Amino acid sequence: MTSFTPLLDRLKKRTLLDDWISELTKEALKKFQPDVLGLSVPFPGNLLGALRIAETARQVSPGTKIVMGGGYVNTELRNLTDGRLFDLIDYLTFDDGEVPLEHLLAYIQNGNGELLRTMFRVDGKVVLHSNPSLHDVRFKNLDAPSYQGLDMKRYVSMMETINPMQRLWSDGRWNKMILAHGCYWKKCTFCDVSLDYIGRFDPDSATGVVDKMEQVMKETGVSGFHFVDEAAPPALLKAMSEEIVKRGLKVQWWGNLRFDPFFTKEVAELMKRAGCIAVTGGIEVASERVLKLIDKGISIEKVAQVTRNFKEAGIFVHAYLMYGFPTQTVQETIDSLEVVRNLFQKNYLSSAYWHRFALTVHSPVGKNPDKFNVKLAPVPTPKEGLFALNEIPYTEPNFVDHDELGVGLRRALYNYMLGLGLEMDVRDWFDIKVPRPKVEISF
Ligand code: SF4
């Protein structure tokens, strides 16, 4: 959404949910009377609620300074020039929040000082202040996350889908932790690798992670952990598992990783002993040519070995799949489905989900479109200035309407997850004519 106007229009309307958010905001402001209110916006879907909180705070507590940060801000608002956002909030901070917030709090208190990656409005213009001599804290030197003040009993267990992995995401309450800042691989060409949260790899130590787990468990009374790394580093996962086993900790955990050949049968069994219940990872397009173009650094055969190792160790395996990558042909999409069918048939996967490829401005494809044979469409700047910038429309010479294939792909996967239709010809899931799979299955 490059223009802020649709969001401002939406804020003028109110639903029951908007009223609830306002009421809860008023209660919290009355109770805490904060000088500064911090809003974390991890995803686009959280933005409207955050703006409603900000709008309410502006009305009932005009002296409170409002700061916004989080994944959505870091990804989409870096090029912001539309100053109207600062009618609702005072500051945006980008990337890791600890040091920017520390300096911003001093700046607010003293009325001056140095800032790090902090955006605000001065005389109607949006400005970014960032002193290059200020630096983030090394990840391993950060404290354990604290959930103090959150009433754990008020978390609602939700069951919004039959997909068992998505249920794990939303059902119940998990302590969220990270093993490393950034991704150890940081090469995949569709991924936002130029952003700090992916591109700057800075891991914790195994003992540091397990110390923090013990501390968080003590505080929350919850022994389940969700590691929210983009791709957990394999050697650290192994060392952490050894440390958990050594200390005799009784924990359950799951997280996202890359299906790296490092995960042998022995490593998978060790992870299981240490409490790992599930892993999620990207197979993306199960085609050798496209996997090379994506620079995933894996082959179909290796993926099959790794997923089998996890499944045989008793660990649930969820795969992210992608379709519509630039230059991907219909044949490659059908071949990819044939690979996925075989993975399910051999019981190497428990669950999976198809994502339609989206070209983002921070990815290698967005930065070097010629290399991927695509042309980026110009992004129009609204007259009030640019709001968000992330996904960019594009054209490619041999355009394939992958949206047409999406229905069949999802239908096949839905059935595979129920153990149905695994013997059927993959072409039968489509309403349109598609080619016979040509891929040779070697696993
Ligand atoms: S897609 Fe995953 S493995 Fe690849 S660079 Fe991004 S975070 Fe790393």
Residue 162 pLDDT > 70: no
pLDDT at 147: 87
Alpha carbons 137 and 202: distance in angstroms, whole number: 10
Tens digits of per-residue pLDDT, 231-284? Answer: 999 999 999 999 999 999 999 999 999 999 999 999 999 999 999 999 999 999
What average pLDDT does this structure show over 285-299?
A: 95
Structure tokens at 440: 């040779």
Q: Are 256 and 228 in contact (CB under 8 A)?
A: yes
What average pLDDT does this structure show over 83-101?
A: 98
Cα(183) to ligand 1 centroid in Å equals: 6
pLDDT at 159: 63
- Please name which of 302, 268, 264 lies closest in space to residue 283, comparing C-alpha atoms: 302
Pocket of ligand 1 (CB under 6 A): 183, 185-188, 191, 193, 198, 230-231, 258, 282
Taking all residues of the chain, what is their mean pLDDT, rounded to a whole number? 95
Cα(291) to ligand 1 centroid in Å equals: 13
pLDDT at 106: 98
Site to substitute for ligand 1 among 181, 193, 322, most atoms within 8 A of C-beta: 193
The more confidently predicted of residues 165 and 413 is 413
Cα(256) to ligand 1 centroid in Å equals: 10
Point out the ligand 1 atom lying closest to the alpha carbon of residue 186: 5
- Please name which of 226, 240, 235 lies closest in space to residue 264, comparing C-alpha atoms: 235
Alpha carbons 238 and 253: distance in angstroms, whole number: 13
Point out the ligand 1 atom lying closest to the alpha carbon of residue 185: 8
Residue 157 pLDDT > 80: no
Distance of CA 265 to the CA centre of its chain: 28
- Please name which of 291, 255, 294 lies closest in space to residue 271, comparing C-alpha atoms: 255
Distance of CA 208 to the CA centre of its chain: 24
